[in-house]
Amino acid sequence: MVFEIIHKPTFTNQLLAIPKEFVMQILEKIEFLRDDPSPHGSVKKKLHGYKGNIYRLRSGVYRIVYTYGDGWVALLGVDARKDIYKGDKLVAEETELNVSQLPDMADLLTPQPQPTYTAAPAKTEDENLLPTQIDEDLLKRLRVPEECFSILLACRTLDDLTNAKIPDLVRERVFDSVTTPNFDLVLNQPSFLTGSTDDLLRFQEGDLLGFLLKLNPEQEKFITWASEAKGPTLLKGGPGTGKSTVALYRTREILTRLKAEGVESPKILFTTYTNALVTFSKQLLRQLLGEDFHHVEVKTADKRLQALVYRTSGDHTIASSSQLQQSLKVALAEALASLPGNLLQQQAQRLVLERLTPDYLLEEIGTVIESRELKTLEEYQATSRAGRAVPLNRIQRQAVWHLREHLNQQLSAQGLETWEQLRSRALDILRTMENPPLYDAVIVDEAQDLPPNILRFLVQLCKAPNRLFITADANQSIYGSSFRWGNVHSDLKFVGRTGILRVNHRTTQEINEAAHNYLQSGLLEEEPIEWQYIHSGPPPAVRAVADTADEGRLLVQFCRAAAREFRLGIGACAVLTPSERSGRDLAGQLSYLGLEATFMSSGELDLSKPCIKVLTLKAAKGLEFPIVAIAGFIGSRFPYMPKGTPEEAAQEILNRERRTLFVGMTRAMRALLVVVPEQKAPVLLQGFDKSLWNLGSSAA
């Protein structure tokens, strides 16, 4: 039996640090593991002292640390460790920087009094010094950018390395090279395909930039699953299960099949929801596809349909929020003055138009009528309004339809249209074109946030239904309303072609279970799924603060403590806020308190910047950060509830914003803190289950 070799990032980080004269011998030893990784004599022995099954293989003065399973060997690390025996057992070398000995996160979440700033005390011999001194030769072998040399050469302690303003990938590489890793934690790192040891040599010499991610068996199944079927495939899964990763690999699989079938120049469209996700997906697809990347077009669906409209009809102007509100105000006055029907019917219509807020009316017209391409009043009166909490009878819907006609007249007179109207217009253009710009395959990632007319547009672009692949998680939906796939398009019937990912690779079990418990009343889709987890950690925390000063100090304390506990830089931290204004305020406050923080909009996102990233909750969708704090609610109007909002509409807004907070919570990979106002906390920031959340003594 030949074993497949895979590896963890810590292994390749440590491999870089090894002098060239020892590398070939190490690679030759690794080849022995392909045939038989089981313990044998003194060459291959089990390492005791770890929870997992971890082994070491001797290679001269170096030790290759690995684990293995059914048909695979995972390389965990390689360094000049010593063999340490207790009795006849080979035991793990104690890690010099033992994360478990650092203060417990639960003790680090109470705001401390404002410190009195005095001269910094002289450093003592009790400092937690790095066990290996960083020198220029090591940094060159690790391929650290020269601009980081002076910063790293000045690092003497764990805190120095944690707080250094360098890229996180550089920090991780240095950490792995100068300290002894905890290999129980390394086991939880993502696995990468090693290929041949020649590739490891090329990587060590700087000729190979990286390796492809190794999918787990559950994910691998869906790369080819139902690809020979007649219709499209839907892949569902909660946050962190790897839906987007599978979509990327499915793209490669479809491209390979198309070329094998003789399609000389395949054309694939890969769409996802936000510009930030487009940028991220492009980077991964370039690595995955290599020279074949030019066969794939990556963009948001709105960008694709805008290009079609521009090419066929010229430029277009989308109404701004203020233009839309003003047009609605005029249209409402006109509609109220010309209501159809008898006096009783007119009175009923007047009541509903005056009772519903402008925002709710615009949402009803946009998300129900325009997005679902309802052409007549009769269609509107007959349609299901799934996801809309305010019930509307036939007469009330007639009033909304009447208002919609006046609103469209107002917009048309100004040469304006809404996004919903533009999407439907693009779909009409596509349907009537003689030679439409079709794709051999269409991949739709994060489809839960796409309205029906966009989904229909994407279906229409795909030449073959069985080469349409969709990923979705209804419970992450922020903007869209609930709907049935079959009602969107006749081709979107996934009977027998719906898969579910159950293994969460992103968040710890504690964070995911607490977030799902919080979400319960906002669920759009409930399925009896038994989730499986790779990671565990401290329970997420909720803390109440009296004012913004306390909030800032608490966030500084939390970010510093969490970064140290998880051996990460401050750049691993993100603070998610309900609004851009509160985000910018918090970024300024954190920087003032000594932690560099930058507010980033979706279009300005720079995940490599070594600072705390401050984003709005909605902009963080699809992203992930090791350490997350959700804050910025003091003095904010969250959730925004227009004056006079009916009870049912208010509940709809609450459910939607509950899903927004759920998305924010599930961006956290290892540590999560939710900061709530001590006084007048919004209803969405109350009622956390104390069995799942660390509430301390100050949070309700």
How does pLDDT run across 136-172, given as a tens digit for each residue? 999 999 999 999 999 999 998 877 888 788 887 888 8
Q: What is the largest CA-CA distance in the chain?
A: 97
The more confident residue out of 569 and 482 is 569
568/278 Cα distance (integer angstroms): 26
Token pair 């036939």 is at which residue?
394
End-to-end CA distance of the chain: 58
- Residue 630 near residue 661, CB atoms below 8 Å: yes
- Whether cis (ω within 30° of 0) applies to the bond prior to 452 is no
236/606 Cα distance (integer angstroms): 29
311's tokens: 């090419």
Token pair 């329970």 is at which residue?
539
389/391 Cα distance (integer angstroms): 6
Backbone CA torsion sign across 162, 166, 169, 170? negative
For residue 270, pLDDT beyond 60: yes
Please give the pLDDT value at position 608: 74
Q: Work out the pLDDT band at 85, boundaries 50, 70, 90.
A: low
Percent of the chain with pLDDT over 70: 89
For residue 103, pLDDT beyond 50: no
Please give the pLDDT value at position 480: 45
The more confident residue out of 536 and 486 is 536
- Residue 131 near residue 179, CB atoms below 8 Å: yes
Q: Work out the pLDDT band at 266, boundaries 50, 70, 90.
A: very high
Please give the sequence-ordered ranges of beta strands (E in DSSP) within 477-610, or none if there are none.
498-501, 503-508, 532-535, 541-545, 573-577, 597-599
Interval 113-133: pLDDT, tens: 433 333 334 444 445 788 888
Task: Indicate the pairing of strand 84-86 with strand 541-545.
Answer: unpaired
Task: Give the residue from 428, 298, 332, 433 showing the smallest Cα distance to 375.
Answer: 428
Please give the pLDDT value at position 309: 95
- The stretch 219-236 carries a mean pLDDT of 88
- CA dihedral 162→165→171→175, nearest 10 degrees, is -40
Task: Give the residue from 472, 467, 9 showing the smallest Cα distance to 214.
Answer: 9
- Residue 612 near residue 284, CB atoms below 8 Å: no
59/36 Cα distance (integer angstroms): 16
300/277 Cα distance (integer angstroms): 9
- Residue 488 near residue 455, CB atoms below 8 Å: yes
- Residue 412 near residue 406, CB atoms below 8 Å: no
258 pairs with which residues across the strands?
Answer: none
User: Looking at the whole model, is its pTM more than 0.75?
Assistant: no
Interval 491-533: pLDDT, tens: 676 767 888 888 887 888 999 899 988 987 545 455 556 778 8
- Residue 452 near residue 423, CB atoms below 8 Å: no
